Structure 1
Amino acid sequence: MIPRSASPGSFDALPNPRGGSVRPAELALAEAQLALEQRTNPAASLLRAVHALREAGWLGAQRLADALLLVSPLTAAEPPDESDARGLFAAALNDLRAAIGRHNLRELSCSPSLFAHYHALNALISRHTPGYTVTFEDLALASRPLPPVSFSPQPAQRLAHLRARYERALLPVLRAHSSDGTASAAVAALTRAALDELDACLAELAGPDPYDFWRLASACANSLRVSGHLVGDTDARRFHARCNLALADHARGLPLASRSLVRSTLALLWRDYALFGAAAEDAEPVALLRDYGLTVDWHVAGTQESEALWEEGAAQEPGFGAGLRDARTRELGVLTVNAHAYEDFLQTGDAAIVALGEHARDTSHPDKADPGEALQAGDAAYRLGAAACALGLGHVALLADALGLAWRRRAYAGIATPGGGVPDVGALEQGAEALRAMLHTIAAGVAPPPAGPALAALTRAVEQG
Structure 2
Amino acid sequence: MALRYATTDPFEALPNSRGGVVRSAEAALAEAQLAFVQRVDATAPLLQAARALREAGWLAAHRFANALALASSMAQQADVPHVDGSHTAFGEALDVFRTAVGRHNLRELSCSPSLFAHYQVLSQQVAQHTPGFSVTFEDLALAARPVPPVTLHAQPTNTLAHLRARYERALLPVLRAHQREGAPPPDIHGALDELEACLAEAAGPDPYDFWRLATACARALRASGHTTGDADARHFYARCNLVFADHARGTPLAPRSLVRATLATLWRDFALFGASAEDADQVELLHDYGLTVDWHVAGTQASEALWEAEAAQAEAAAAARTARTRDLGVLTVNAHAYEDFLQTADASIAALSDHARQADNPEKADPGAALQAGDAAYRLGSAACALGLGHVALLADALGLAWRRRAHAGVTTPAVRSHTIVDAPDARSLDHAAEALRAMLHKIAAGVAPADSSAALAALTRAIEQGGAPDGARAGAA
TM-score bucket of the superposed structures, by smaller chain = over 0.9
**TM-score for the superposition, normalised by structure 2:** 0.92
2:63 and 2:320 mapped to 1: Cα distance?
26
Letter in 1 for 2:189: R
Alignment correspondent of 1:88:
89
CA RMSD between the two structures: 2.1
Paired with 1:51 and 1:301, the residues of 2 have a C-alpha distance of: 39
What does residue 142 of structure 1 align with? 143
Unaligned stretches of 5+ residues in structure 2: 468-478
Query: Residues 90-239 of structure 1 correspond to what in structure 2 (within 5 A)?
Result: 90-180=91-181, 182-183=182-183, 188-239=185-236
Please say if residues 151 and 254 of structure 2, whose CA atoms lie closer than 8 Å, have aligned partners that are also in contact.
yes
Q: Percent identity?
A: 68
C-alpha deviation, 1:117, in angstroms? 0.7
In structure 1, the residue matched to 2:277 is 280
Query: Pairwise mapping of residues 24-423 of structure 1 onto structure 2 (< 5 A)?
Result: 24-78=24-78, 83-180=84-181, 182-183=182-183, 188-318=185-315, 327-366=323-362, 368-413=364-409, 414=411, 415-416=416-417, 419-423=421-425
- The one-character-per-residue Cα deviations of 1:128-177 (angstroms, maximum 9, x if unpaired) are 00111000000000000111100122222211111110000000000002
State how far apart, in whole Å, the 1-side matches of 2:362 and 2:137 are. 35
What's the counterpart of residue 428 of structure 1? Answer: 430
Q: What is the one-letter code of the residue matched to 2:148?
A: P
Cα–Cα, structure 1 residues 165 and 455, in superposed 2: closer, same or farther, change >3 Å? Answer: same
Distance change in 2, residues 1:358/1:6 (3 Å):
farther
Q: Assess if the C-alpha contact under 8 Å between 1:4 and 1:228 holds in 2.
A: no
Identify the residue that residue 463 of structure 2 maps to in structure 1.
461
- Aligned residue identity for 1:269: L
Task: Kindly provide the amino acid, as one letter, of the partner of residue 49 in structure 1.
Answer: A
- Relative to structure 1, is the Cα distance of residues 231 and 203 closer, same or farther in structure 2, using a 3 angstrom cutoff? same
Structure 2 Cα separation of the partners of residues 347 and 240 of structure 1 = 44
Are the aligned partners of 2:145 and 2:398 in contact in 1 as well (CA < 8 Å)? yes
* Residues in 1 aligned to 2:6 and 2:399: alpha-carbon distance in whole angstroms: 29
Distance change (3 Å), C-alpha of 1:348 and 1:3: closer
Looking at structure 2, the residues matched to 319 and 362 of structure 1 have their Cα atoms a distance apart, in angstroms, of 44
SS in 2 for 1:316: helix
Deviates most, 144-153 or 356-365: 356-365
Mean Cα deviation higher: 430-439 or 349-358: 349-358
- Unaligned stretches of 5+ in structure 1? none
Q: Distance in 2 between matches of 1:55 and 1:41?
A: 24
Cα distance between partner residues in 2 of 1:464 and 1:42: 43
How far the C-alpha of 1:4 sits from its partner, in A, is: 4.2
**Contact 1:15/1:311 (<8 A) preserved:** no
**TM, length-normalised to structure 1:** 0.94
Alpha-carbon separation, structure 1, partners of 2:151 and 2:349 = 32
Q: How far apart, in 2, do the equivalents of 1:314 and 1:327 lie? A: 17
Runs of 4+ in 1 over 6 A off after TM superposition: none
Q: CA 1:101 to 1:262, structure 2 compared with 1: closer, same or farther past 3 Å?
A: same
Tell me the amino acid that sits aligned with residue 115 of structure 1. F
* Shift in Å, 1:264: 0.2
Equivalents in 1 of 2:4, 2:152: separation in Å? 31
The worse-fitting range, judged by mean Cα deviation, of 265-274 and 22-31 is 22-31
Length, aligned pairs only = 459
